[in-house]
Amino acid sequence: MGTAPNKTAAAAKSSQGFVYLPLIAGWLVPGAGHFVIGKWGRGALLAISIIAMFALGLAMDGKLYSGAQDILDLLGLVGDLGNGLMFLVSRAMGLGGDPIQFTTADYGTKFVVVAGLLNVIAAVDAHNLRTGRKS
């Protein structure tokens, strides 16, 4: 009974503005989705974790997927695209190793892909907070 006014308030709040803004902002820039809705602490931790993971992946000479020659490349590209602007800017700057020559470069490639997948999870979380599905 005590939650009814809260749900009404959350529903009213969720109907204001563009509800997909945190989702899109969170995808483009890690943590930005949480910043948009005022969750500064969570956003900062998410941003640090995802950006650090992406940067470490590049520092290990990880590969940035640029095309989809086969199904595994396609899956890697989808994961990389989850990084949003970081991936697009890094590709435009020509960062990332080409062929994988060291074991650590393979780790780096996985770091970059997983950073993208974690960023998608974080952006969806920001969307859920915005719509009132999560508190």
Partner 1 sequence: MLRPSHYTAVLLFAVFASTVFGITQRDTPRRMVRYGLYCFVLFAGSAIVLSWVMFLIAR
> Please, are residues 25 and 32 in contact by the beta-carbon 8 Å criterion?
yes
Question: Encoding tokens for residue 119?
Answer: 């960023």
Rounded distance, CA 48 to CA 54, Å?
Answer: 10
* Member of 9, 11, 19, 52 binding partner 1 (CB under 8 A): 52
User: Rounded to the nearest whole angstrom, what is the least distance from the CB of residue 43 to partner 1 in the complex?
Assistant: 9
Per CB under 8 A, which of residues 92..131 are in contact with partner 1? 102-104, 107-108, 110-111, 114-115, 118, 121-122, 124-125
User: Rounded to the nearest whole angstrom, what is the least distance from the CB of residue 70 to partner 1 in the complex?
Assistant: 25
Q: Residues interacting with partner 1, by CB under 8 A? A: 42, 45-46, 49-50, 52-53, 56, 59-61, 102-104, 107-108, 110-111, 114-115, 118, 121-122, 124-125, 134-135
